[in-house]
Amino acid sequence: MEPIKIGLLGLGTVGGGTVSVLTRNAQEISRRAGRDIVISHAAAKFYDPNKINGLNQINRISDDAWAVVNDPEVEIVIELIGGYSPARELVLKAIENGKQIVTANKALIARHGDEIFAAAQTRGVTVAFEAAVAGGIPIIKALREGLTANRIQWIAGIINGTANFILTEMRSKGRAFKDALADAQKLGYAEADPTFDIEGIDAAHKLTILASIAFGIPLQFSRAYVEGISNIDSIDVAYADKLGYRIKLLGITRRVSAGIELRVHPTLISKRRLIAHVDGVMNAVLVHGDAVGATLYYGAGAGSEPTASAVVADVVDIVRALTTDPENRVPHLAFQPNELSNVPILPITQVETAYYLRLSVEDKVGVMAQIAGILAEEGISIEAIQQKEADNAKTVPLIMLIHEVVEEKINRAIQRIENLENVTGSVVRIRVEQLDG
């Protein structure tokens, strides 16, 4: 059989890794796929030829991405440019030209996925995006195919390696947030502008995709609640540790009777949960289905070859499915396009979670009673209270664990507590998840 011909957009970290993996493992891959895979045409604005093994196997390299998507020889276009534009226009043009698409672009899929999948559906081609979520971990495949028997109940994922690295450094070395971030930047784990990673936006892109696939709903990035880790104080990481918890930046999506929760925020998780032990830049996604129970998928969520691993797996999947009727292929969002449902995404104020609270109080008789009184009036029940060593002459830190309560109630209670005369500064609050079923 003729080799399958790839057009590659982008020769950066992931593009270079894709060339290297396809070259080094050509034989292994072809023994599995039953067909050789060659990159016949690549385009990149800048790249470092010394960093990529196998560039000499590519027939044509230029800086013209449009030439690749319009090349009649190219059967599969791999988009590894990133960002919204011109990635969107290039992908739509490639679809129009009847190319199959593989992309690692989570932002593109989270924001423009519905448009792109509709175009692909009309043209009878596939858009594969395993590499867009959690790098080398085959989590899209697990959700779309491995767990098809299940009604998915919830997903909780550590899906940003930069944030997980920073939180791990804060816990294991007692580093402050800004020092841990500087370390991450020095090691190449964080970008010069780290906003997308530390403020949870990257995680929200990925979570949006996971939620859509899990529940059969349209992609709704704009409705996600997003809170990053830049306000996490290392003292809370240490207090959480003593209480038996780790703090992780989690992407959580859950089906409840009123709708779907879609939220990214720092979260306390009991050390008894396996996912609490996922450290450094590693990612993990915990999925709860009604038949299978809890399953967890762990691995490298970023990096050159781990991401390339997912890109190439998508290519092989497409090669295998080329002779299939398009309507029998795995649907882009797991459910048949006419079977998506419009369950609403809940606003964060309607979400129920447990809480960790830290207050600075003046060490006077009656303060605790006032706080407990407010919580009781709001119908909020306390799981534990600990008074810590005084942090200065005047105030002592008070740590509270609060049972599950709807967010608008705790918001009201916190506001009232902050107004108390003997409470100084703001109340620190971090959500707590059980993740036990």
Chain residues in the site for a second copy (CB under 8 A): 17, 21-22, 24-25, 28-29, 31-34, 130, 136-138, 141-142, 144-151, 216, 274, 277-278, 284, 289-300, 305-306, 308-313, 316-317, 319-325, 327-331, 334-336, 339
Least distance from a second copy to the Cβ atom of residue 388, Å: 28
The overall longest dimension of the chain from CA atoms, in Å, is 84
Exposed/middle/buried for 122, CB within 10 Å: 0-12, 13-18, 19+?
Answer: exposed
Question: Is residue 12 within 8 Å of 42, Cβ to Cβ?
Answer: no
Indicate left, alpha or beta for 299 from its phi (over 0: left) and psi (-120 to 50: alpha). Answer: left
Distance CA(268)–CA(247), nearest Å, equals 5
Nearer to a second copy, 162 or 304 (CB): 304
Least distance from a second copy to the Cβ atom of residue 228, Å: 25
Least distance from a second copy to the Cβ atom of residue 45, Å: 25
Nearer to a second copy, 222 or 324 (CB): 324
Least distance from a second copy to the Cβ atom of residue 296, Å: 4
3-class secondary structure per residue, the chain: CCCEEEEEECCCHHHHHHHHHHHHCHHHHHHHHCCCEEEEEEECCCCCHHHCCCHHHCCEEECCHHHHHCCCCCCEEEECCCCCCCHHHHHHHHHHCCCEEEECCHHHHHHHHHHHHHHHHHHCCCEECHHHCCCCCCHHHHHHHHCCCCCEEEEEEECCHHHHHHHHHHHHHCCCHHHHHHHHHHCCCCCCCCHHHHCCHHHHHHHHHHHHHHHCCCCCHHHCEECCCCCCCHHHHHHHHHCCEEEEEEEEEEEECCEEEEEEEEEEEECCCHHHHCCCCEEEEEEEECCCEEEEEEEECCCHHHHHHHHHHHHHHHHHHCCCCHHHCCCCCCCCHHHCCCCCECCHHHCEEEEEEEEEEECCCCHHHHHHHHHHHCCCCEEEEEECCCCCCCEEEEEEEEEEEEHHHHHHHHHHHHCCCCEEEEEEEEEEECCCC
Least distance from a second copy to the Cβ atom of residue 372, Å: 35
Nearer to a second copy, 234 or 307 (CB): 307
Of the candidates 141, 206, 364, 394, the residue annotated as catalytic is: 206
Least distance from a second copy to the Cβ atom of residue 426, Å: 35
Nearer to a second copy, 327 or 377 (CB): 327
Question: Is residue 413 within 8 Å of 423, Cβ to Cβ?
Answer: no
Least distance from a second copy to the Cβ atom of residue 87, Å: 22
Least distance from a second copy to the Cβ atom of residue 308, Å: 6
Whole-number Cα distances in Å, 330 to 59, 86, 166: 32, 27, 37
Nearer to a second copy, 165 or 298 (CB): 298
Bridge partner residues of 266 (DSSP): 249
Count of CB atoms situated within 10 Å of the CB of 180: 25
Nearer to a second copy, 261 or 305 (CB): 305
Least distance from a second copy to the Cβ atom of residue 302, Å: 11
206 in catalytic set: yes
Q: Which residues are catalytic?
A: 206
